[in-house]
Amino acid sequence: MTHSLRIPDLTIPARPSPVGPGDAGDPALNDVDVIRVRGDARLAGAVHVVGAKNSALKLMAAALLAPGRSLITNVPRITDIAIMGEVLRRLGCGVRFGPDDPVDPMVAHGGVERSRSVLIDVPERPGAEADYDLVRRLRASICVLGPLLARRGYVRVAHPGGDAIGSRGLDMHIAGLARMGAEISGEHGFVIAEAPDGLHGADILLDFPSVGATENLVMAAVLARGATTIDNAAREPEIVDICTMLNNMGARIEGAGTSTLHIVGVPELRPVRHATVGDRIVAGTWAFAAAMTRGDVTVTGLDPAYLEVALDKLVAAGGLVETRGDAFRVRMDDRPRAVDVVTLPYPGFATDLLPMAIGLAAVSEGGSLITENIFDGRFMFANEMMRLGAEIRTDGHHALVCGRERLSGAPVRATDIRAGAGLIIAGLCADGLTEVSHVHHVDRGYPDFVADLRALGVEVERGTAPEEPDLAI
């Protein structure tokens, strides 16, 4: 049976999505997008955080589990969302983006939308293959594996791409699906999963609380026969968000937010309307930016409890942090004190905030030891931070950062989403001008980053510059 929400047509003229250099339609293949910031800045004011990229992408995939029209609101207007929309279109879904709120003051006064809604019309029989040309650009697209296997009994998905921050294998995804009765094979760069008789419940123990594996296995289990238990499951707010949406669709999931999830399979799900949880990584970026620039910033749109460990670090660094409802304020009056940081799965310090932690350490008084436990390539951007004058020594999963009073403006290159944002923020603490290139990475995680910087008092501009040749031999 197909259930449908009665939702008005949300078709609107689409704003062109930013693309990386060399993508189809790029008129200047030798030019790259850059963001230039003037240093000696102090951030002050308020910034609103919209829905989490890491949740919205998975919510869009979850819509595949129910034929009919689902509406997801508070979706960030970023490149990755546009790519996921195209992934779903090629699977046979209708995908329409529209304004979150037609009377939003930003829209009413001619401003740029930071968030929007996406209406996903899922057919009775969606496609079963996710194309390589899209999957290579968006690692999160692997999350269609679980729902398509549950719906179709067969799926062929290319090995994913995404940020170059280290090894992120699919072993736990595959092992969990195999325990649920799937036959997994691979050929020519594709993962092929088959369950012609359907999936069945199973007891699954994850070696590591992987967010992606937890999401894929939950989405597969909600339509499987019998009960599934996932131990050592990820606990992130984004996991809670997807479980909330699935339960509203008719799933039976208990334990969201804990390390053990219990899922009882149901015969079918129904479409829903669901609002995306606020983006804790974007919120954390602004929190660290306030501390690094000795500023005073209020962030709205997120439960501060989701950033408890990060905000505690800022207090230890000498900052004043006030929380209330869905907002928090960070003020730093003096030079920050050095603090050590260790990244861990939620509720620990988020790996995506590591570039900001290194930026804070680079301008703090004293030395900080930064330890990365999630991705083996997260320190790839350290050389770029050192071009700004940061004193960083890395050894495996550790970085020793000796703080300086000021950094020095220089041209640097974004290597991934969070590194790009971290370099821009570090440039605010430098003398002179800092130019960050390849900021198409930043576009993948931060809606209208430049406008937010301007609203907080930063002298900033976006433009293009010739790409520097790679002289490595």
**Known catalytic residues?**
163
- CA–CA gap between residue 331 and residue 347 (Å, rounded): 23
- On whether 58 is known to bind a ligand per the annotation, the reply is no
* Beta-sheet strand order (sheet of 367-371): 341-342, 367-371, 398-402, 391-395
Q: Where does 132-246 show beta strands of DSSP type E? A: 154-158, 183-187, 190-194, 203-205, 227-231
- On whether 232 is known to bind a ligand per the annotation, the reply is no
- Rounded to the nearest 10 degrees, how much is the dihedral formed by the CA atoms of 295, 296, 300, 305? 90
At residue 95, the 3 state secondary structure works out as: strand
Half-sphere exposure at residue 453, Cβ-oriented, CA atoms within 13 angstroms:
26
In contact, 249 and 3? CB cutoff 8 Å: no
203: tokens are: 């007891």
Half-sphere exposure at residue 199, Cβ-oriented, CA atoms within 13 angstroms:
38
447: tokens are: 């809606």
Name 328's bridge partners: 299, 323
24: tokens are: 């189809």
- On whether 90 is known to bind a ligand per the annotation, the reply is no
CA distances from 286 to 306, 354, 431, 440 (A): 14, 13, 20, 19
- On whether 333 is known to bind a ligand per the annotation, the reply is no
457: tokens are: 């008092």
Nearest alpha carbon to residue 191 among 225, 214, 220, 157: 157
- On whether 312 is known to bind a ligand per the annotation, the reply is no
Residue numbers belonging to the annotated binding site for phosphoenolpyruvate: 53-54
Binding site residue list:
53-54, 139, 352, 374
